Amino acid sequence: MKVLTANRLTDGEAVWYSDTNGWQDVIQGSTLAEDKTGEERLDAIGKAAFAQNLVTDVDLIDVNVVDGAIVPQRLRERIRAAGPTNRLDHGKQARAA
Amino acid sequence: MYRYDEFDHDFVKARVAEFTDQVNRRLAGEITEDQFRPLRLMNGVYLQLHAYMLRIAIPYGTLNPRQLRMLAHIARTYDKGYGHFTTRQNLQFNWPALSDVPAILSDLASVEMHCIQTSGNCIRNVTADHFAGAAADEVADPRPYAEILRQWSSVHPEFSFLPRKFKIAVTGAERDRAAIQTHDIGLHLKKNEKGELGFAVYVGGGQGRTPMVAKKIRDFLPEKDLLSYTTAVLRVYNLNGRRDNKYKARIKILVHETGVDEFARQVEAEWADLKDTELALPQADIRAIEAYFAPPQLPDRPEDDDRIKQARLDSRSFGEWLDQNVVTHRHPDYAAVTISLKGIGETPGDASAEQMEAVAGIAEDYAFNEIRVSHEQNLILPHVARADLRAVYDRLVEIGLATANSNLITDIIACPGLDYCALANARSISVAQDISRRFASLERQREIGELKLKISGCINACGHHHVGHIGILGVEKKGAELYQVTLGGSGDENTSIGEIIGRGFGPDEITDAIETIVQTYLAVRNGGDEKFLDTYRRVGPAPFKEALYGSEARAA
């Protein structure tokens, strides 16, 4: 499974794409691509958003769904989704607390 | 320190205006990311994992209190209340919005700072010995020459699009505290037999994926020839450096592939046409720049001894700090103070806005308005009267910056790693924090003695792991972090590249592995005075391999 991620142009904030909310600040609730067709669709959305200068550094990343939560496979993406592990008061994790 | 003249002010102001326009055009969608990326990089703006990152140049690591206060202001106003001092003597903010960068640059310009050439394939911030102007063993202050190089290299039309980035470091002492042999050009300021100033010139050092120790291509270059000779080196590199492969584009590869003798011959041939041109530095110009770095008037303060002796008796922790973080000064009544940014379990190199402001205040009150950033990610007060050391210590205690660990195992260099950096493969800060906590006991650290531990989160080696006495390189293997250990590296006048000791360790194993290495050292060292590096150079890797891998090592 994959989700679409990027950084918002204006502030560089890590964002994920949701069919419901558009580019959102949290990974949970982002749209899952469960097959090739879904990936191609998200890829097209990402390219369009990049071309519209909404986001930059667009990427489709591998995720698993664990107990209903979206969990990126790579540590890099888990840190992007949560925040730096040395500063739990920063990043998305700080807002969730 | 150097003060901007009218030209400098106008230049930086114009650059801020130019980049402000570029940012506005980018935000308005008038230019694409592909067009904007090289422009933002030229102005120190990166995109990292969580946000943009802004890298601010601190020329040769020298700051005045006004500048440090401005960095604190920016941290508080536009970022998250802290900054990260780097191994390039620079400062990075990890969370600025692109839309705020023009305002930040404008604030920086007001205190004679900028972010120009902190990225890109150009000549980067010139670094220098952090004890410059204060060190007892110094021939002369290297910073005037670093400043001359800074002015010459700023938006240099010929050298703004080199095959790859280019780093120059200068030291003015035999004891190399600027790691000059790990730079593209390393300059060792010295005197010849006639007492004239000049440089030993080293070329082709570097870390990254292909670490190399720089080679000396000239034993003595007269100071007037600094720019003509540097130009000759850059010209040979610019012409012949590889542009087809970014991993082979640094000058170290060119020097290696060309051969040092042939490379030096090419430089000398190029220099023959340059040395008597307008690049020859007039004495008057050198002395004029030198005047900016005139040492502060240091009045004799011989009242120190009794006061310090008493203070030692009053406070054991003050005595420990004195022993560890204070070094001799060229003036016997003064000392240079290392302010450790390596509190136990904390992020190496980070300082809060409040700490920056407090250090600025201490520098104003006790250190002649001078602050330095060391490439080891600490702050330095280069000129403190010994009689004032207790007062400085007390002020540092108030802000949590009195950790007495300079040059000890918890004085760890660590790059931002995977917690922030888009290039990283593994975390380095968390490893530094774990090791720091494990070795928190100062008594134990001092028993171990000088030990430089350096951690990088990827092969680019921003954490200088190749030249750590113990180096740790984080890699990603099968989706997990793995840490390779190197031993025997050193970034001083006897620079050496550490040797990989064996298979790597997982995040939960690496601190135990360091513990094993330290225990092995303590067991085999030749008395308490033999430092880790000396022991390693004497006994080699075998006992460490045996301790880490046992029968596995013997089988190999």
Tokens of B41: 């990089």
Using a CB–CB cutoff of 8 Å, tell me whether A32 touches chain B: no
| CATH code at position B204 | 3.30.413.10
| CA dist., res. A36 & res. A66, Å (int) | 21
Verify that B332 and B219 share a domain, yes or no.
no
CB-based contact B471:B459 (threshold 8 Å):
no
Verify that B140 and B288 share a domain, yes or no.
yes
Verify that B437 and B540 share a domain, yes or no.
yes
Q: Check residue A48 and give its pLDDT.
A: 98
The residues that bridge with B327 in the sheet, in sequence order, are B336
Chain-centroid distance of CA B299 in Å reads 31
Verify that B207 and B353 share a domain, yes or no.
no
User: Among all residues of chain A, which has the CA nearest to that of B31?
Assistant: A53
Give A9's contacts in chain B (Cβ within 8 Å). Answer: 26-27, 33, 98
For residue B429, pLDDT over 90 is answered with: yes
Using a CB–CB cutoff of 8 Å, tell me whether A7 touches chain B: yes
Give CA angle at B413 (B40, B340), nearest 5°. Answer: 105
| CATH code at position B367 | 3.90.480.20
Q: Check residue B308 and give its pLDDT.
A: 85
Chain-centroid distance of CA B554 in Å reads 39
Q: Check residue B304 and give its pLDDT.
A: 63
Tokens of B297: 């008037």
Using a CB–CB cutoff of 8 Å, tell me whether A91 touches chain B: yes
Chain A: closest CA distance from residue B65 (Å): 27
The shortest CB-CB distance from B98 to any of A10, A87, A91 is to: A10
Verify that B319 and B457 share a domain, yes or no.
no
Q: Is residue B434 part of a domain?
A: yes
Chain B: closest CA distance from residue A95 (Å): 14
Q: Is residue B126 part of a domain?
A: no
The alpha carbon dihedral of B146, B147, B152, B155 has a sign of positive
CB-based contact B41:B54 (threshold 8 Å):
no
User: Among all residues of chain A, which has the CA nearest to that of B26?
Assistant: A53
In this predicted model, what pLDDT tens digit does every residue of B322-349 receive, in sequence order?
999 999 999 999 999 999 999 999 999 9
Give A56's contacts in chain B (Cβ within 8 Å). Answer: 33, 47
| Structural domain containing residue B29 | 6-110
Q: Check B429 against A91: CB less than 8 A apart.
A: no
Verify that B473 and B418 share a domain, yes or no.
yes
The alpha carbon dihedral of B198, B203, B207, B213 has a sign of negative
User: Among all residues of chain B, which has the CA nearest to that of A89?
Assistant: B80
Q: Is residue B274 part of a domain?
A: yes
How far apart, in Å, do the first and last CA atoms of chain A sit? 27
CB-based contact B171:B129 (threshold 8 Å):
yes
The shortest CB-CB distance from A90 to any of B47, B80, B99 is to: B80
Q: Check residue B306 and give its pLDDT.
A: 79
In this predicted model, what pLDDT tens digit does every residue of B184-227 receive, in sequence order?
999 999 999 999 999 999 999 999 999 999 999 999 999 999 99
Asked if the interface predicted TM-score (ipTM) of this complex is over 0.85, the answer is yes
Q: What 3-state DSSP class applies to B263?
A: helix
* Three-state secondary structure readout of B312-344: HHHCHHHHHHHHHHEEEECCCCEEEEEECCCCC
Q: Is residue B404 part of a domain?
A: no
Q: Which of B16, B22, B24 has its CA nearest to residue B37? A: B22
In this predicted model, what pLDDT tens digit does every residue of B149-160 receive, in sequence order?
999 999 999 999
DSSP state of B86: -
Give B430's contacts in chain A (Cβ within 8 Å). Answer: 85-86
| Least confident among A23-37, B297-311, B405-419, B455-469 | B297-311
Q: Which of A27, A32, A30, A11 has its CA nearest to residue A95? A: A27
